[in-house]
Structure 1
Amino acid sequence: MMTIQQLKYALEIANWGSMNEAAKRLFISQPSLSNAIKELEAELNITIFERTNKGVSISVEGTEFLGYARQVLEQIELLENRYLDARPSHQHFSVSTQHYAFSVSAFVNLMEKYALEEYEFTLRETRTYEILDDVKNLRSEIGILYLNEFNSKVIRKLLKDSNLNFTVLFRAAPHVFISAKNPLAQRKKVSLADLEPYPCLSFEQGDYNSFHFSEEILSTLSHKKNIRVSDRATLFNLLIGLNGYTISTGVISAELNGDNIIAVPLDVQEIITVGWISHKNVTLSKLAAAYIQELDSVLKNYK
C-alpha cells in the first residue's frame, strides 16, 4: 500500500533530479530508495521517473502524480502541526530565474518573513532554457523570464509543449544598465548609436545559445565589442570597469547593487514582458504563493 514515506521519497528525487543525491539527503542507500520507488510505480501502474545514463527525468504521468503528492504532504503537515504539535518539517522551495535583482530581493524577503528553523531553499540564476526545463521537471516551482515580440512565439511553444503557465509580473520599456561614471550616465535616454563605442555585455546561454533564448532584447544586432558572462556580479563589475552596458528592464535594486549602476531609457520601440512560470499540473505550495506575493511587493517600488 502506498505510504507517506514513498511520497516523500518521490518528491526528494524530483527536487534533486538524482537518485544518488536524494538518497544522500534522505540518509538511505540508493538501492533502497530505488526499490521503494519501483514498488510505488508497480502499485500505481505508472512510471514516475524515466531512468537514463545521465540520471532521472520525470515522466508526463509522473508530473501529474507528484503534483498530487505535494498537496497531500502539505495537508499532512497542516494536520500534524494542528493536532500533534509536531516539530516543523524540513521545508523545500526552489526558484529558477533570469538574472534579475528583484527576484533575489523577493527571495530574501520571503526567508526573513518565514524565519524557518530548517529549510532547503534554492535560487538558481540560470540560462533561459534551463529555467523552462527546471519548472517542467519540478526542480523548481517557479521560473522567472521575459517575453517580447521577437522571442514570444518560440518561448510560448515551449511553454505549451512543457505544460507550463506564464503569468505576467510587469511590462517595461527597455533600458540600459551602465556605470554611474559612464559618459552617457547624464543622458535622459540613449540610442543604439550612442552605445556603439562601448562593450555590449550579455549572459551566455550555453548549448542553447539561440537568439530566442537571449536574456537581452535586440539579440540579433551585431556589435563591434561583445562580452558574454555567466553571472550578474561579473557583469556588473565589467559595467563599471570597462564602461560597458547591458540591455534590461530598468528595474534595479540599489539595496543589493549599490549606487554604482544606473538605468537609462533606451530609445527603441520595444516592450519587455516579465513573468513567472509554473507547471499546470502542480498547485503552488504555500511558500511559492508567498514568494509571488513578495515579487509583487518588491516590484511596486518600481511602478
Structure 2
Amino acid sequence: MIEVKPLHYFVAAYEEGSITAAASRCFISQPSITHAIKSLESSLGVLLFERSKQGIKATEEGHKLYKLATDLLLQNQQLEVAFTPNSKIELHLYIQPDINIEQYYDIISAIKNTSPNIELSIVDTAEQAQLAIIDEQLLSSQFQFKILHQESYKLVVRNDHLLANESSITLESFRGLAFIERPYCTNRKAFERLLNENKISITYKGKAIHDLQIQGLVKLGLGVAVIPESYMKKDDDLKYIAITLDTPITRSIVLAYRKLPSVLMDVIEDLTCLS
C-alpha cells in the first residue's frame, strides 16, 4: 500500500524539477525526498525520474503517477475538510523582500477573510509557497499568476543635490554620480547593459539590503539611488526624479498561486489586473 506522504514529496520533486527545491518546499532534508522517491520506485517497479547534473526529469511513468497522485492528494484533502469542519487550512505565503507589502494589504486581507479556517504563514522562499507576491521575472513555471501592479524606477536624491530641481533626466545624467548599490534589483542587468551601451561608468559608494535603508543612506548624503516607484515616500529631504529611456525599464508585481483550495480560487479570479 502506498502512503500519502511519499506522494507529497514526489509531487514536490516533479513540480520543482529539483530534489533541493523539493526539500526546501517541504521543509525536510534532501535525503528524505530521495528516499521517498526510491521507495515509490521500488513499490511500483518503475523509474519515475531520470537524474543528471542539471536536475531530475520525469519519465513517462513519472508523468502518469503525477496525474494520479495529484488527484489522490486533492481528494484526500477534501475528505479531511468534509469530515473535520473546524480543520485549519494552512497557506504558505512568500513575499519578495524588496516589494512594498503595504500596497497589497487589501489583497492579503481578502485572502485571510475568505474563511475563518485559513491560516497564513510566511515562508523564506517561493518554492515553499502556495501564494507569493513576487516580481514576475522571478516566478517559476509551476505558478499561475495575476498581475497586481506594474511600476517603473526613479532616481532618488537628496533635496540639496544638483539634480533635485529636475523633473526628469536621461542616463547621461548618471555620469559621475556616486550611487548606493541595490544588489537585489531584478532589473539590475538591464540598467547595467544600458549604461555600458552608452559608455557611462558609475561609482558605487556602498550597498543597501532593502529600499528603506537605501533612502536613509541617500538622506545622509552618501550617494544617490535608483528605486521602484512603490517605495517613494513623502519626505521633504528627498526628491524623486523620472528617468527617460527609449525603452522604459519596469517590473511587474504579481500574485502567484498554485494548488489552492477551491474556496480561494474565486477570490483570486476576482482580483483586478494592473491595479
Residue 5 in structure 1 maps to residue 8 in structure 2: no
Separation (CA, whole Å) in 2 of partners of 1:288 and 1:200: 43
Residue 36 of structure 2 is matched in structure 1 by 36
1:168/1:273 contact within 8 Å kept: no
TM-score using structure 1 length: 0.56
Q: 1:285 aligns with which of 260, 266, 269?
A: 260
Residues 71 and 249 of structure 1, relative CA distance in 2, 3 Å threshold = farther
Aligned ranges 1:261-280 → 2 under 5 Å: 263-275=240-252
Give 1:236 deviation, angstroms: 3.0
TM-score using structure 2 length: 0.61
Aligned ranges 1:156-235 → 2 under 5 Å: 170-172=149-151, 174-179=153-158, 182=161, 184-204=163-183, 214-215=187-188, 217-220=190-193, 221=195, 222-227=200-205, 229=207, 231-232=209-210, 233-235=212-214
Amino acid at match of 1:189: S
2:157/2:224 contact within 8 Å kept: yes
Residues 50 and 248 of structure 1, relative CA distance in 2, 3 Å threshold = farther
Residues 10 and 118 of structure 1, relative CA distance in 2, 3 Å threshold = farther
Separation (CA, whole Å) in 1 of partners of 2:67 and 2:209: 32
Amino acid at match of 1:17: T
Name structure 1 gaps, 5 residues minimum.
125-133, 148-154
SS for the counterpart of 1:251 is: helix
SS for the counterpart of 1:184 is: coil
Aligned ranges 1:78-157 → 2 under 5 Å: 78-94=78-94, 97=96, 99-101=98-100, 105-106=103-104, 109-110=107-108, 113-114=111-112, 118-122=119-123, 124=125, 138-139=127-128, 142=132, 144-145=134-135
Separation (CA, whole Å) in 2 of partners of 1:17 and 1:30: 6
SS for the counterpart of 2:231 is: coil
Amino acid at match of 1:285: L
Amino acid at match of 2:178: P
Amino acid at match of 2:104: A
Deviation readout 1:8-35 (Å, 9 max, x if unpaired): 3446776993787788x57xx9877654
Separation (CA, whole Å) in 1 of partners of 2:149 and 2:41: 41
SS for the counterpart of 1:268 is: coil
Amino acid at match of 1:199: A
Residues 33 and 107 of structure 1, relative CA distance in 2, 3 Å threshold = farther
Fraction of identical pairs, as percent: 15
Deviation readout 1:168-212 (Å, 9 max, x if unpaired): 65555542234466553443223334444532234336xxx9xxx
Residues 118 and 218 of structure 1, relative CA distance in 2, 3 Å threshold = closer
Residues 70 and 272 of structure 1, relative CA distance in 2, 3 Å threshold = farther
Residues 32 and 177 of structure 1, relative CA distance in 2, 3 Å threshold = closer
1:145/1:274 contact within 8 Å kept: yes
Separation (CA, whole Å) in 2 of partners of 1:4 and 1:204: 42
Name structure 2 gaps, 5 residues minimum.
none
Deviation readout 1:227-262 (Å, 9 max, x if unpaired): 4636214433323223533334423364xxx64665
Residues 81 and 292 of structure 1, relative CA distance in 2, 3 Å threshold = closer
Residue 46 of structure 2 is matched in structure 1 by 45
2:155/2:242 contact within 8 Å kept: yes
